[in-house]
């Protein structure tokens, strides 16, 4: 900046202003211009990538830049560093991000980078502890008394610090990052790992676990990765870690929205799926608000923990959510997208735990009986999860003889299925949004044990349309609680309040008598409650299916005795990143009983297929040392006598028997003959169904011998739209470039634009060279003006500009202006720069961008601006850069521009686009299409098999883009599209279509009209535009018609395929409806478009206002007192009525004489 003073106008007047609303304000005149605030201005299309908390923020700030996966992290880091950004941290574990310090003025440059997905503010992490009031409950004493105390479990507390010298924290053997001593983390660690050495009352839940403390500065994904690896800053534990607890959040707004923090945690669990991380949802309700939870806690793959007041009693009857009143209530759900959060809860109050030693702690007594908040609830639940991990790993449930670590979804499902559900009646307010699925009940988990748990971990990965099922037996003694959970792929960090679920699975449970239940119906989630039923703890039989949650439950209070069918379905068309693994836990159920079952593996079989038959019956397991067999009969409508099938026990003592049978339209020995539409019945004769009586047990399926109907009307367009350059200028010219040579025009009375090599002049300076090559353009590159290298003071509008040569944008849409920028300009309160676009040098010029705050670039940066509203499909486009108006002081280096380019979408030959009409069976129930196969071959004859299959698309989709296979590659590709139904039938059509027809065919139907069909407020002189294409790539004659006649408006000749073509239609009447269409002629065939309509603008002037009155006494401001301190020419303070005071008063009324300055600025 030049060495000139600005904003030194002194405060020379005091004015008392009376506002008519009876409020009095005191204001000062003569405010300095430097009081203006710089605000960052972000291009509208980039706002979605900028966190809402950063929009409008100015100055230097710490931010996190979230990046795409699978990028060159080093290259993008260097690119961002070159913009003057300080890189504080680089993370490449699970997700890519940079923690940085930067000026908000360069947000646009970074947001324009394709690799950047989001920028969000970094806050100081905050703990989630309220000093409120917990005595022990949740039943952990029972498993602990039988030896489940955390032994063999590696678990971690993440928090703000820990007192490792505490006598009760000897189990904390490892640390990660660089923890410091702090009370909050000491308390949470005590709840997990306290060993009772100093006070047995402070005994933790996992008091024999191997404890790890990680500092919250370590990064969420890195912390999870280190825990699974067992490798920490202080050493290697030599085993995997599985439990983590977090009683803090990043400090951002608690709004329940899914952002980069949520994405990072979900991706870290996808990468480390056997870790269950727990997060406190917060204490931020300020009364009875909903959804005020942290972004970390509402991630899908964690265990989000809420809280209630336990009131320091031994009973749950007085537990409640709202004891503390406004401002001291634990947060509650749901998440911003409607998901059920929290997952579980614990107590908010009276938790006795260890404290930081000595006077540094909360109490100064080394122990604390008032620890609470969701800070205390979360390690409590995490400790219970650790007990569940220990029980599972030690094969307590008789399902893990090899001692494998379970997946986190299994432990999550086990904890939820065995949880205690609070009643959702009365005044306790412990609704589903407060309690999630309940509080841990470890006594219940231990007591149900192996006899009453059925646990299925990752039995089958499901894609859309797939299903898995099994039977579980209920004896009616215990409630039947079935939980489905899965580790869902991370949603984008820009999801915010959109649906975060990626892979949609459905839990479907069928009672022995055929009553059907779907996951989460009736369980107190608003979307899935039957009308009139209110909040409930137990499932209802509604047909709604949950589309939001990756946890689904069916809870039956008094289950019917018998075998229940548990089915998990992959929602057709809604498993976007499948196949998806899952875990199912049935609490209160037994896997096998004396009540025999028989099961066919599919509900529908193909005409040529294999059926798998399964029988379960404890009575058949008569010898625990051998594998046994049983015979069953399977018949069909076509072969009613059926076939006898031998089933073999799957393992010693499993009481589960399996066998298979071939199904075919052709009869033969050991083959069941079937026909389309047949009913297949499998029959098992159970000698004793557990009641002493025999029973005949059956299962049925049907035969589908009919493939789906084929898609029709396949077309292939090889032209498509691709982004291509329209105009490129490097300003290098012939080596000694001039504006005249390059076609650029300067103008204005104060023009200082030059083309040359920047010399680094000015303060702050120009760049010391062009971005690339030797030449660029800019203001005063060589020192022309008063301040060499800087623009001038007191420039007028339109006095200093430069504009491009005419640029032809016909045939291009979505036109963008791109260039390298090095700009210095004072805030727009004083100085102005503009980018403008016009279709004529005489204007009007449309402003594309102008500065907001002060900009002082320190390096070249790439910028891009959308100019499509002016430039799309225009014959002549000009781009203008302007500097001015400016005020009378403070000058900067102005514009420096290099490597300028216009790009847009136009007809291209890069991709092939396929379109077809859906199969008649798409959406047709049992014969429904599941997806479409896309085949590509160099030959019309294929073959159309797995060797030419290139891709699939979901049912309901009738288009496909085959990238990089267009006409430019020199091969005329042939395509076939076939329908595939739900059981795997593929239609057999051979309707092959080439990208370029071998014979001439008619032009495609014109599309993309402007004005849009049905548009209103259209100019009375519109320009009609339409996109036209020809499968053979022929040039066409396009005729525009007024449909009311029809009357020819005009004709365009030799129009290229895949381009837009325009026609002016001038002199229309206002407020009038018009209709129009086009015909496209390739010299042999003519294709007519649909008829489109629009209504012109209403140009009727408004009616005049009536009954005008003027009230001179109305509200406003009046000057009640005005003092210029001039008096009678020789004023005194007494004359003016002003009073000085104080023992050392030195106030005077006089002419300032410039004295002082030894320790600062002198008087004026």
Q: 88: which 2 tokens? A: 């504080």
pLDDT of 1147 strictly over 70: yes
Going by DSSP bridges, is the β-strand pair 1036-1042/1047-1055 parallel, antiparallel, or unpaired?
A: antiparallel
Distance, in Å, from the CA atom of 48 to the CA atom of 848, rounded to the nearest integer, reads 19
H or E segment to which residue 838 belongs: strand 833-838
Q: Which two tokens stand for residue 947?
A: 């060797």
- pLDDT confidence of residue 128: 42
Q: pLDDT tier at 355 (50, 70, 90 boundaries)?
A: very high
Residue 1082, pLDDT score: 92
State the pLDDT confidence band at 163, using cuts at 50, 70 and 90: very high
Q: For residue 980, give the 3-state DSSP assignment.
A: strand
410: closest CA among 375, 440, 385?
385
3-state secondary structure 870-921: HHCCCCCEEEEEEECCCCCCCCCCECEEEEEEEEEEEECCCCEEEEEECCCC
| Nearest residue to 345 (alpha-carbon basis) of 327, 361, 357, 329 | 329
**Quick one: average pLDDT of 355-367?**
88
Dihedral angle computed from the Cα positions of residues 917, 923, 929 and 933, in that order, rounded to the nearest 10 degrees: 30
Q: Domain containing 818 — which CATH number? A: 2.60.120.200
Residues 166 and 78 in one domain: no
Closest CA relative to residue 858, chosen from 889, 829, 890, 821: 821
Does residue 659 contact residue 645 with C-beta atoms inside 8 Å? yes
**pLDDT above 60 (res 580):** yes
**What is the extent of the structural domain holding 984?**
712-720+909-994
Indicate if 242 and 111 belong to the same structural domain: no
- pLDDT surpassing 60 at residue 748: yes
Q: What is the mean pLDDT of residues 575-586?
A: 96
Stronger pLDDT, 115 or 321, i.e. the higher one: 115
Is the distance from CB of 652 to CB of 631 less than 8 angstroms? no
Average of pLDDT values for 2-8? 32
For position 953, what pLDDT does the model report?
A: 93
Cα separations (Å) of 465 from 485, 574, 609? 18, 9, 18
Same domain? 238 vs 296: yes
Confidence band for 287, pLDDT divided at 50, 70 and 90: low
Same domain, 502 and 515: yes
The pLDDT of residue 542 is: 78
The model's confidence at residue 333, banded by pLDDT at 50, 70 and 90, is: confident
- Across the range 205-219, mean pLDDT stands at 90
- The pLDDT score that the predictor gives to residue 20 is 29
Quick check: is 1130 in a domain? no
pLDDT the model gives residue 26: 22
Asked if the structure places residue 691 within a domain, the reply is yes
SS3 readout for 621-638: CCCCCCCCEEEEEEEECC
Q: Of 891, 907, 923, which residue sits at a domain end?
A: 907
Cis peptide bond prior to 969, omega within 30° of 0 = no
pLDDT-based confidence at 1142, cuts 50/70/90? confident
- For the stretch 1027-1045, pLDDT in tens is 898 888 888 999 999 999 9
892 near 826, Cβ under 8 Å? yes
CATH of the domain at 1041: 2.60.40.10
Q: What is the CATH number of the domain that holds 382?
A: 3.40.50.200
User: Which pLDDT score, from 0 to 100, does residue 8 have?
Assistant: 31
Query: In terms of domains, do 896 and 934 share one?
Result: no
Whether residue 786 is predicted with pLDDT greater than 80 in this model: the reply is yes
Does 220 lie in the same domain as 318?
Answer: yes
pLDDT of residue 1018: 92
Same domain, 878 and 769: yes
**Among residues 1096, 1123, 1157, which one ends one of the domains?**
1096
Taking 60 as the threshold, does the pLDDT of residue 904 lie above it?
Answer: yes
Question: pLDDT class for 387, splitting at 50, 70, 90?
Answer: very high
pLDDT at 47 over 70: no
**pLDDT for res 1103:** 79
CB 703 within 8 A of CB 676: yes
The pLDDT tens digits of the residues spanning 169-208 come to 999 999 998 788 999 999 999 999 999 999 988 899 999 9
β-sheet with 1023-1028: strand ranges across: 1007-1010, 1023-1028, 1059-1064
Q: Compute the mean pLDDT over every residue in the chain, rounded to the nearest whole number.
A: 86
What average pLDDT score do residues 921-946 get?
88
| pLDDT at 27 exceeding the cut of 70 | no
Q: Is the pLDDT assigned to residue 4 strictly greater than 50?
A: no
Tokens of 36: 């203006």
* Residues 204 and 65 both lie in one domain: no
Nearest-angstrom CA–CA distance, 1078 and 1041 = 6
The C-alpha angle with vertex 184 and arms to 136 and 356, in degrees rounded to 5, equals 90
Are residues 87 and 206 both part of a single domain?
Answer: no
For 277, phi and psi rounded to 5 degrees? -100, 140
Q: What is the pLDDT of residue 1160?
A: 58
Q: Is residue 1149 part of a domain?
A: no
- Which two structure tokens, joined as six digits, stand for 669? 């020995």
pLDDT of 34 strictly over 50: no
Q: What is the CA radius of gyration of the chain?
A: 38
| Res 369: pLDDT | 83
- Identify the weakest region by mean pLDDT among 383-387, 690-694, 1093-1097: 690-694
Is 13 inside a domain boundary? no
Considering the domain boundaries, does residue 820 fall inside one?
A: yes
Q: What is the pLDDT of residue 512?
A: 81
Q: With pLDDT > 70 as the criterion, what percentage of the chain qualifies?
A: 89
For residue 33, pLDDT beyond 80: no
Q: Are residues 1041 and 927 in the same domain?
A: no
Is 737 part of any domain?
yes
Q: Is residue 623 part of a domain?
A: yes
For residue 710, what are its two tokens? 């084929």
Query: Any residues with CB less than 8 A from the CB of 691 and at least 6 apart, and which?
Result: none
Q: Which residue, 907, 938, 953, sits at the end of a domain?
A: 907
Mean of the pLDDT values across residues 585-600? 87
Q: Summarize the confidence of residues 857-874 as an average pLDDT.
A: 92
Identify the residue with better confidence: 1054 or 970.
Answer: 1054
220-229 helix and 260-271 helix, angle to the nearest 10 degrees: 20
Q: Kindly report the CATH number assigned to the domain that includes residue 552.
A: 2.60.120.380
Q: Count of domains in the chain?
A: 7
pTM of the model: 0.53
> Does 161 lie in the same domain as 292?
yes
Q: How many residues appear in the chain?
A: 1164
Distance CA 850, CA 828 (A): 8
Other CB atoms within a 10 A radius of the CB of residue 37 amount to 10
Residue 410: inside a domain, yes or no?
no
- Is the same domain home to 752 and 762? yes
Element (H, E) at 86: strand 86-91
Cβ–Cβ under 8 Å, residues 294 and 278:
no
Band of the pLDDT at 926, cuts 50, 70, 90? low
Q: What is the pLDDT of residue 1144?
A: 87
Evaluate whether 483 touches 416 at the Cβ level (below 8 Å): yes
Which two structure tokens, joined as six digits, stand for 533? 């039923």
Task: Note the pLDDT of residue 40.
Answer: 38
Which residue in the block uniquely carries the two structure tokens 């809870």? 555
Measured distance CA(299)–CA(258) in Å, rounded: 7
- Confidence bin at 46 (pLDDT 50/70/90): low
């Amino acid at each position: 900046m030049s060495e000139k003073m600005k904003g030194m106008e002194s405060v020379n007047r005091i004015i008392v202003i009376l506002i008519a609303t009876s409020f009095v304000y005191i204001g000062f005149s003569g405010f300095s211009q430097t009081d203006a605030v710089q605000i960052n201005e972000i291009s509208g299309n980039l706002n979605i990538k900028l966190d809402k908390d950063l929009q409008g923020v100015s100055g230097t700030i710490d931010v996190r830049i979230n990046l795409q996966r699978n990028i060159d992290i080093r290259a993008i880091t260097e690119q961002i560093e070159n913009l003057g950004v300080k890189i504080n941290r680089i993370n490449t574990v699970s997700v890519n991000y940079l923690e940085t310090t930067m000026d908000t003025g360069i947000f646009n440059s970074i947001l324009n980078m394709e690799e950047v997905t989001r920028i969000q503010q970094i806050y100081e992490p905050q703990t989630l502890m309220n000093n409120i009031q917990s005595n022990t409950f949740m039943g952990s004493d029972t498993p602990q008394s039988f030896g489940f105390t955390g032994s063999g479990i590696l678990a971690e507390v993440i928090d703000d610090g820990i007192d490792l010298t505490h006598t009760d924290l000897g189990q904390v053997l490892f640390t990660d990052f660089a923890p410091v001593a702090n009370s909050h983390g000491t308390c949470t660690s005590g709840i997990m790992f306290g060993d009772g050495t100093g006070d047995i009352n402070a005994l933790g839940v996992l008091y024999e676990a191997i404890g790890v403390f990680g500092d919250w500065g370590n990064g969420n994904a890195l912390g999870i990765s280190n825990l699974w690896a067992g490798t920490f800053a202080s050493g290697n534990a030599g085993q995997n870690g599985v439990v983590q607890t977090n009683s803090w959040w990043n400090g951002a707004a608690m709004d329940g929205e899914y952002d980069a923090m949520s994405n990072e945690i979900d991706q870290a669990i996808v990468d480390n799926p056997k870790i269950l991380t727990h997060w406190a949802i917060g204490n931020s309700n300020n009364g009875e608000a909903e959804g005020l939870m942290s972004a970390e806690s509402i991630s899908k793959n964690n265990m989000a923990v809420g809280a209630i007041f336990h009131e320091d009693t031994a009973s749950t009857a007085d537990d409640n959510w709202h004891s503390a009143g406004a401002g001291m209530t634990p947060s509650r759900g749901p998440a911003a997208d409607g998901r059920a959060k929290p997952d579980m809860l614990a107590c908010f109050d009276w938790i006795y735990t260890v404290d930081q030693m000595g006077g540094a702690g909360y109490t100064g007594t080394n122990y604390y009986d008032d620890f609470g908040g969701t800070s205390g609830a979360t390690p409590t639940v995490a400790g219970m999860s650790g007990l569940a991990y220990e029980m599972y790993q030690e094969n307590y449930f008789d399902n893990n003889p090899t001692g494998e670590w379970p997946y986190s979804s299994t432990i999550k499902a086990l904890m939820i299925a065995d949880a205690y559900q609070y009643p959702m009646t009365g005044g306790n307010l412990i609704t589903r949004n407060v309690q999630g699925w309940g509080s841990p009940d470890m006594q219940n988990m231990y007591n149900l044990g192996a006899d009453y748990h059925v646990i299925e971990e990752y039995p089958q990965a499901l894609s859309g349309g797939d299903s898995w099922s099994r039977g579980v037996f209920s004896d009616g003694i215990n409630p039947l609680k079935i939980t489905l959970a899965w580790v869902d792929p991370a949603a984008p960090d820009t999801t915010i309040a959109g649906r975060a679920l990626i892979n949609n699975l459905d839990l479907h449970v069928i009672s022995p008598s055929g009553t059907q239940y779907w996951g989460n119906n009736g369980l107190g989630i608003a979307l899935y409650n039957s009308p009139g039923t209110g909040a409930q703890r137990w499932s209802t039989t509604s047909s709604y299916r949950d589309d939001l949650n990756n946890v689904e439950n069916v809870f039956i209070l008094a289950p019917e005795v018998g075998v229940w069918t548990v089915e998990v379905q992959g929602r057709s068309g809604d498993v976007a990143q499948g196949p998806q693994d899952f875990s199912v836990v049935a609490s209160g159920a037994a896997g096998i009983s004396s009540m025999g079952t028989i099961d066919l593996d599919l509900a529908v079989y193909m005409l040529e297929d294999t059926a798998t038959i399964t029988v379960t019956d404890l009575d058949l397991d008569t010898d625990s040392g051998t594998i046994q067999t049983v015979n069953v009969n399977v018949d069909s409508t076509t072969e009613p006598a059926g076939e006898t099938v031998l089933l073999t026990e799957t393992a010693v003592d499993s009481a589960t028997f399996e066998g298979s049978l071939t199904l075919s339209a052709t009869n033969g020995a050991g083959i069941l003959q079937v026909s389309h539409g047949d009913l297949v019945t499998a029959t098992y004769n159970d000698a004793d169904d557990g009641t002493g009586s025999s029973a005949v047990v059956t299962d049925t399926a049907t035969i589908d011998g009919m493939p789906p109907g084929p898609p029709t009307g396949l077309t292939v367009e090889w032209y498509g739209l691709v982004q291509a350059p329209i105009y490129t200028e490097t300003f290098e010219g012939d080596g000694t470039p001039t504006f005249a040579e390059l076609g650029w025009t300067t103008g204005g009375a104060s023009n200082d634009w030059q083309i040359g090599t920047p010399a680094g002049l000015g303060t702050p300076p120009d760049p010391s060279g062009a971005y690339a090559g030797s030449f660029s353009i800019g203001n005063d590159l060589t020192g022309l003006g008063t301040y060499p290298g800087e623009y001038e003071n007191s420039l007028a509008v339109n006095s200093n500009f430069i504009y491009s040569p005419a640029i032809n944008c016909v045939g291009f849409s979505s036109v963008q202006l791109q260039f390298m920028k090095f700009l210095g300009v004072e805030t727009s309160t004083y100085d102005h720069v503009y980018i403008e676009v016009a279709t004529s040098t005489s204007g009007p010029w449309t402003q594309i961008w102008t500065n907001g705050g002060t900009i002082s670039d320190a390096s070249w940066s790439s910028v891009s601006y959308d100019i499509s509203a002016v430039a799309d499909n225009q014959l002549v486009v000009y781009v203008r850069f302007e500097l001015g108006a400016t005020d009378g002081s403070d000058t900067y280096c102005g514009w420096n521009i290099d490597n300028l380019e216009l790009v847009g979408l136009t007809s291209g030959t890069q991709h092939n686009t396929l379109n077809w009409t859906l199969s008649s069976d798409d959406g047709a129930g049992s014969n429904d299409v599941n997806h479409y196969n896309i085949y590509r071959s160099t030959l019309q004859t294929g073959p159309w098999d797995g060797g030419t299959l290139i891709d699939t698309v979901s049912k309901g989709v009738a288009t496909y883009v085959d990238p990089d296979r267009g006409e430019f590659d020199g091969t005329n590709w042939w395509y076939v599209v076939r329908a595939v139904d739900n059981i795997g039938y593929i239609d057999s059509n051979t309707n092959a279509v080439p990208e370029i027809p071998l014979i001439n065919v008619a032009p495609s139907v014109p599309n993309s009209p402007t004005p849009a069909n049905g548009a209103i407020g259209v100019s009375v002189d519109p320009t009609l535009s339409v996109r036209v294409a020809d499968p053979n790539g022929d040039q066409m004659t396009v005729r525009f018609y007024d449909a009311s006649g029809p009357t020819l408006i005009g004709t365009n000749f030799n129009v290229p395929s895949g381009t837009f073509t325009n026609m002016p239609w001038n002199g229309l009447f206002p407020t009038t409806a018009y209709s129009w269409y086009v015909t496209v002629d390739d010299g042999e065939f003519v294709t007519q478009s649909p008829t489109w309509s629009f209504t012109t603008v209403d140009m009727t002037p408004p009616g005049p206002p009536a009954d005008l009155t003027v009230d001179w006494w109305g509200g406003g401001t009046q000057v009640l007192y005005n003092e210029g301190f001039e008096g009678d020419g020789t004023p005194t303070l007494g004359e003016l009525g002003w009073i000085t005071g104080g023992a050392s008063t030195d106030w005077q009324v006089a002419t300032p004489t410039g004295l002082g300055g030894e320790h600062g600025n002198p008087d004026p």
